[in-house]
Amino acid sequence: MHGMRLPASRRGFYARRSTTLGALIALCAGLLFLSAPTAQAAPPTPPSASTARSYLASLTVRAEGSSDGYSRDKFPHWITQSGTCNTREVVLERDGTGVVRDSSCRATSGRWYSPYDGATWYAASDVDIDHVVPLAEAWRSGASSWSTSKRQSFANNLSIAQLIAVTDNVNQSKGDKDPAEWMPPRSAYHCTYARMWVWVKYSYGLSVDSAEKSRLGSVLSGC
């Protein structure tokens, strides 16, 4: 039977069958591609641990200043970034996956992974935007002498790793503590967090106290 030519009718049947199978394979591949999870977005990548160590070494070390006169209102935040979108909504869209926004730019659905504790949330109301270096901490580290416009820049800065979407109650447990007093519950994120913290303080020329510097140096040495 080797080399025997099939009748035209049979050749047409197999050709149609092959075409149908190919189409089904392509369709399945397309569906798999569409359902594949997208990469989790994140704040700007902080400097390497070695660079962060050099930044830390250059920071002024002094006792933390007073909180006298501090108010969140002195750091105007969640300003308009573009159109109807304020800073919070921009960060929610950047750090989330599949985020849908309404005409006012409010996130109505999406998925948010909090690297501080490893939790995933599906409602924007469960997510806070954390200032990695808290506003009150910045005030005590040098920002009390800044102009209002500089404090506004600090509170809304999207170009460095100062803002990140995280679980709301984890952010609230952090409060205005520095790394000597608080680190993310998820230890796997400690290195990244320390690099972010140092980057922010270095970028704005903020000081560190001795306990804060010691804790950051310890974390960075293990990165």
- Answering whether pTM is above 0.85, one says no
Does residue 149 lie in a domain region? yes
Does residue 90 lie in a domain region? no
77 in the same domain as 13: no
- The mean pLDDT value for 109-116 works out to 97
At 52-89, the pLDDT tens digits run 999 999 999 999 999 999 999 999 999 999 999 999 99
Q: What is the pLDDT of residue 40?
A: 52
157 in the same domain as 202: yes
Does residue 131 contact residue 155 with C-beta atoms inside 8 Å? yes
Paired tokens of 155: 């509170």
Does residue 34 lie in a domain region? yes
DSSP letters, 170-212, are: HHHHHTT--TTT---SSGGGHHHHHHHHHHHHHHHT--B-HHH
Does residue 140 lie in a domain region? yes
List Cβ neighbours of 76 (8 Å cut-off, separation of 6 or more): 148, 151, 152, 155, 156
216 in the same domain as 201: yes
139 in the same domain as 34: no
Does residue 4 lie in a domain region? no
Q: How many domains does the chain have?
A: 2
| Range of the structural domain that residue 159 is part of | 41-82+130-221
Does residue 114 lie in a domain region? no
What DSSP designation does 215 have? H
For residue 6, is pLDDT > 90? no
**Residues linked to residue 20 through DSSP beta bridges, in sequence order:** none
